[in-house]
Structure 1
Amino acid sequence: MKKWMMLAFAFSLIVLGGCSGKTAESEGDGKKLYITTTIGQIADAVKIIAGDKAEVHSLMGPGT
């Protein structure tokens, strides 16, 4: 019974911690992200997803 109460208390703290008054900004601060990937295929996917909001570099160039 004591373990159950401690578990319920811990769960309550986690749930209430998620109810903070801060809200996420939808637009961000306007700064450009700099993302480095390991291979070109991942870099291509990240470029498509991020669009013009990020500058993407790959550690391994094409054909290596």
Structure 2
Amino acid sequence: MTNELKDVFYIAGMVVSVAGSHFMLRARVMVLEERVRGYSKAIERVFDSLKRIEEKLDEKADK
């Protein structure tokens, strides 16, 4: 009987630890996704700035 109770506690502990790991990793993935979104917005702004600079240079070259 003690072995069975010990096994139940062991399995319950494993389930709790796996669930905790799952939610911890899920939170980390969410943080990384937000960082990537921020980086993509920053890269978009850089490309927009470069495009405006290129247009200004083209206008000056045409004159």
Question: Which range, TM-score by smaller chain?
Answer: 0.3 to 0.5
Q: Which has the higher helix share?
A: 2
Q: Which has the higher strand share?
A: 1
Q: TM-score, normalised by structure 1?
A: 0.36
Q: TM-score, normalised by structure 2?
A: 0.36
> Max radius of gyration: which structure?
2
